[in-house]
A = this chain, B = another copy of it.
Amino acid sequence: MTDVLKNDRFLRALRREPTDTTPIWVMRQAGRYLPEYRATRERAGSFMGLAQNPEYACEVTLQPLERFELDAAILFSDILTIPDAMGLGLSFAHGEGPQFARPVRNAADITKLAVPDMDGELRYVMDAVRLIRQELHGRVPLIGFSGSPWTLACYMVEGAGSRDFATLKTMCWNEPKLAHQLLDTLAQSVAAYLIAQAAAGAQALMIFDTWGGLLGPAPFREFSLRYMAQIVAALKADTHARELPVILFSKGAGQHLAEMADTGCAALGVDWTMNLADARRAVAGKVALQGNLDPAVMRASPEVIRREARAVLDSYGNHPGHMFNLGHGITPEVDPEHVKVLVDEVHAYGRALRS
């Protein structure tokens, strides 16, 4: 834990300080597109077997760093560990998305929910953070993360993935107090979870609000943004976590960047449907930005990947505060060689942009 950080580009960019080039990491960089990831998952037997075993989680977290000159590692885990620890029974049916054996549907279900024990049910996550920090030897910083309260609630109430998560939306409209009770319990849990990850050694924190963009503007503020702001405030009140930059990422919520920037977070993730020049104007220098190459570009030819990467870098321009990333997670069919092409181009062109 006391290793000096050898590559601090990512943390410097998060603080909007000058860097020699643009740092890059890739959402879901430890994922199915890597054959070595698939091999470890095979050995682990299941996705949850992989995520809940600190040695396996450490192994797959480090795999992409062996191949590519990435500027950050991100804890390998799932966004749904908190509801699983609350007793909902998370599983991943083969080839399908997440499922909960015991979804949350009514006041009795919601009243029963308690903030999970970070040294109990969720200890495996903190063990993984500690082990990864140790094995990283200060090569790059480690990002800890959580799903947002809104996104966790989407799955908890629906019981599985959904196109529109209308079950939770209906609860928000018909029984707003109940929805707020659920979201408040989740916000407390996410704050405790991220504080514990910080204490275990995470050096930056990210909140994934995958489904915030399904909400209209007023419900987005009331049911998603409000609870992310509550978490950021709780982190700022913690002696240790307050030092860590927080990244908020609401997919499909580009129109809300200005309000999101006012939460006290350090950076915002931006999906690929928005130009970074527009995003910069929207946040008016208050936060750094992370993104935003269309993940589908990774399936195109190397020369297209290079050209589109340069377009993203150009749209941000020669200003501090840009962490390159895809606008959403990398998909399983991407050729790993294409990731090398991307990482190398971002570093080379990022350097050229600064000179």
Contacts and interface: CB of A to CB of B under 8 A. Distances in A.
Nearest to A298: B166
B295 A173 contact: no
A71 interface: no
Contacts of A273: 213-217, 252, 255
Contact of A254 (B170, B218, B255, B296): B255
**Helix, strand, loop or mixed for chain A's interface?**
helix
A331 B294 contact: no
B215 A301 contact: no
B274 A166 contact: no
A2 interface: no
A191 B254 CA distance: 33
Nearest to A305: B173
Contacts of A295: 164
A275 interface: yes
Given A217-B275, A273-B213, A308-B173, A296 B166 contact: yes
Interface in A138-190: 164, 166, 169-170, 173-174
A299 B304 CA distance: 44
B217 A174 contact: no
A252 B251 CA distance: 12
Copies in the assembly, this chain? 2
A166 B331 contact: yes
B254 A173 contact: no
A122 interface: no
A249 interface: no
Interface in A259-292: 272-275, 278
A199 interface: no
Contact of A296 (B164, B274, B296, B301): B164
Nearest to A169: B296
Given A274-B255, A296-B166, A301 B213 contact: no
Interface string A301-335: 10010001001000000000000000100010000
Given A217-B274, A274-B217, A300 B252 contact: no
A215 B342 CA distance: 20
B174 A300 contact: yes
B217 A299 contact: no
Given A174-B304, A213-B273, 19 more contacts: A164-B331, A166-B299, A169-B294, A169-B299, A170-B299, A173-B297, A173-B300, A173-B301, A214-B273, A215-B273, A216-B273, A216-B274, A216-B275, A217-B274, A217-B278, A252-B273, A254-B255, A255-B255, A255-B274
- Going nearest first, the 8 A-B pairs with the smallest beta carbon separation are A173-B300, A166-B296, A169-B296, A173-B304, A170-B299, A216-B272, A217-B275, A174-B300
